[in-house]
Chain A
Amino acid sequence: MYDLIIVGAGAAGLSAGLYGVRYKLRTLVIGEVIGGKGMEAHLVENYPGFLSISGSELMRKFREQAEEFGAKILRGKVVEVRKEKGNFTVRTLDDESFESKAIILAMGSERRRLNIPGEDKLLGKGVSYCATCDGPLFKGKKVAVIGGSDAAVKSALILSEHAKEVHIIYRREKLRAEPLLTEKVLSIPKVKVVYNRVPVRVEGKEKVEALVLKPFKGEGKEEEFPVDGVFIEIGDVPSTSIAKELGVKLDEEGYVEVNPKTMETNVKGVYAAGDITNVTKFKQFITAASQGALAAYSAYLFLKGGKK
């Protein structure tokens, strides 16, 4: 029996793991990807203490520090968390079960999909959600990035190292990424921005051949835009299926509702941290890590019988 099981092993989960063991809790962190979505970050230049570090390296350091102090970190896909007689049972896809007295939900978020025809069919055939991963496969090709946020612009920057042409397709009139990033991407001749357009479908038989676009505002015909790759960067949705089944309350946008002072949810003994919560729209390594620390502290107070 563990004192604390943390579901999710990204910045929030690993930080909670570190704080859990620092409070002498028997702590298990289970996650599908150790390091979580932070692994995809090309360069992190806003995590204090590191001038510039890759997401995977930063997450490796998080993991090493938590393990150094005694957290057990396990790779696995959690399919269910059940509450029985005050304790929790966590079950994985491989049918392993673990028990604990408290839970921290830190499953983060998953990529928001466009939900347009062709997107699913051509996933892995030119449609991608990870420029860091798949960029090198598009050497000399023409690619599109859908979105106008930091993530979209960062993807365009990565892709410009490999592709022949990079087209950012954005529905608004101006990119909304950090000014520094925007300036950088707009200075690269092979990167072009197509404003006021949204994708309607992805076309291709065996692989992506074109995107079909239409104006976001105003009237206008659909037009075909030939590309070899489509990178979708339109934000994230919280991964809350386990939380829902456990009876955890979500807000109207689907994020886990927590008390921001304690990170506790409506279910006694269940806390949440990181991108999955409704605390802030500002999804950063540092905000996830701080929520993880706070959730672990609250779980500790709960377990020792103090105030939650």
Chain B
Amino acid sequence: MRKKVLIQIITSPTCPYCPLAVEMAERVSKALDVDFEEVSVATQKGLELARKHGIMGVPAILINGKLAFEGVPPSDLYLARAVKKEMENV
């Protein structure tokens, strides 16, 4: 059965490193068949998410609502590992 995992990338419109994190999440979510979404802090939802998790730097990555990375993960493997760990818990 498909595991319900959501990767959320918190971004800002002017952040040059955010597209790297988004591209990475796109690849990893495809490879592991999980969902991902980009949430900009320029939106109310993004700002609320950032405040809720105390995020003051972007990109940041939430996996199933838990703060997993602040900054771009060093490689796809690191993100994939964190997602797989979450998959074991759901």
Q: Tell me the A residues contacting B by CB distance below 8 Å.
A: 33-35, 39-40, 42, 55-56, 75-77, 92-94, 123-126, 128, 130, 132-139, 158, 206-208, 229
Q: Which residues of B contact A125 (CB under 8 A)?
A: 54, 56-57
User: By the criterion of a CB under 8 Å from any partner CB, how many residues of chain B are at the interface?
Assistant: 25
Q: What is the CB-to-nearest-CB distance from B17 to chain A, in angstroms, rounded to a whole number?
A: 6
- Say which residue of B16, B54, B60, B74 sits within 8 Å of A132 (CB atoms): B16
- Which stretch, B7-15, B31-39, B82-90, touches the partner chain A? B7-15
- Which chain B residues in 58-75 approach chain A with CB under 8 Å? 58, 60, 70-72, 74-75
- In the complex, the answer to whether A33 meets B14 with C-beta atoms within 8 Å is no
Q: What is the CB-to-nearest-CB distance from A14 to chain B, in angstroms, rounded to a whole number?
A: 15
Of chain B, the residue at the smallest CB distance from A75 is B20
- In the complex, the answer to whether B20 meets A133 with C-beta atoms within 8 Å is no
- Top 5 nearest A-B pairs (CB, nearest first) are A39-B16, A133-B15, A124-B57, A124-B70, A136-B12
- Which chain B residues in 34-56 approach chain A with CB under 8 Å? 41-42, 47, 50, 54-56
- In the complex, the answer to whether A133 meets B57 with C-beta atoms within 8 Å is yes
- In the complex, the answer to whether A94 meets B75 with C-beta atoms within 8 Å is yes
Of chain B, the residue at the smallest CB distance from A41 is B16
New A-B contacts (4) at CB < 8 Å, excluding given A56-B16, A92-B75, A136-B13: A134-B56, A136-B42, A137-B56, A158-B14
- Most B CB contacts (10 A, CB to CB) among A55, A124, A136 go to A136
- In the complex, the answer to whether B12 meets A137 with C-beta atoms within 8 Å is yes
Of chain B, the residue at the smallest CB distance from A34 is B20
Q: What is the CB-to-nearest-CB distance from A59 to chain B, in angstroms, rounded to a whole number?
A: 8
- In the complex, the answer to whether B20 meets A135 with C-beta atoms within 8 Å is no
Q: Which residues of B contact A77 (CB under 8 A)?
A: 74-75
- In the complex, the answer to whether A76 meets B75 with C-beta atoms within 8 Å is yes
Measured in the bound complex, the distance between the Cα atoms of B74 and A94 in whole Å is: 9
Is the C-beta of B18 less than 8 angstroms from some C-beta in chain A?
A: yes
Q: Which residues of A contact B55 (CB under 8 A)?
A: 124, 137
- In the complex, the answer to whether B75 meets A133 with C-beta atoms within 8 Å is no
Q: Which residues of B contact A42 (CB under 8 A)?
A: 14
- In the complex, the answer to whether B17 meets A133 with C-beta atoms within 8 Å is yes
- In the complex, the answer to whether A133 meets B41 with C-beta atoms within 8 Å is no
Q: Which residues of A contact B74 (CB under 8 A)?
A: 77, 93
- Say which residue of A33, A76, A134, A139 sits within 8 Å of B57 (CB atoms): A134
